Structure 1
């Protein structure tokens, strides 16, 4: 199969897109973990205190909210540009 035949296969394209989405999700989780760890974890220990737990919860929620906001704006951008053309 040549390179063009591989790109024309809809199942292969769907598989590649699904794997790309998984990779983006994993990168997002890694980034969120890193940011929230730096922000919230003072001294690692055997248990998290309630303040640290609340910090992690708030950090993750804000990270998700921000990501969703950005995705929504990016989805709307082509629509709004089309209105000005």
Structure 2
């Protein structure tokens, strides 16, 4: 199996007999898959962080109103912070 995060992958693609269109398609596919992996990692981290913060009792088949409210607020604050950081970095990059 090929490791998509391997630094040798671009060289493997360059050394192979793929035409330019196929290389572009593979590159686009790898970019999408890497973005997908980052998204899954972020979701996992968010789930872990908010669960550890908000679920303080033994889980049952339904969240308490305090737990549900905490989870909602935790996710909202995480998303707000992420968007703020992205916009700040974009503004900084544009001003340079």
Given the two structures, how large is their TM-score scaled by the length of structure 2? 0.74
Per the alignment, residue 42 of structure 2 pairs with: 28
Find out whether 1:65 has 2:75 as its counterpart: no
- Unpaired segments of 5 or more residues in structure 2? 1-11
5+ unaligned residues in a row in structure 1: which ranges?
none
Q: Does 1:4 align with 2:4?
A: no
How many residues get paired? 80
Deviation sequence 1:18-46 (CA, Å, 0-9, x none)? 00110010011011101101110011222
User: If each structure's helix is expressed as a fraction of its own residues, which one has the higher value?
Assistant: 1
Q: 1:34 and 1:72 mapped to 2: Cα distance? A: 25
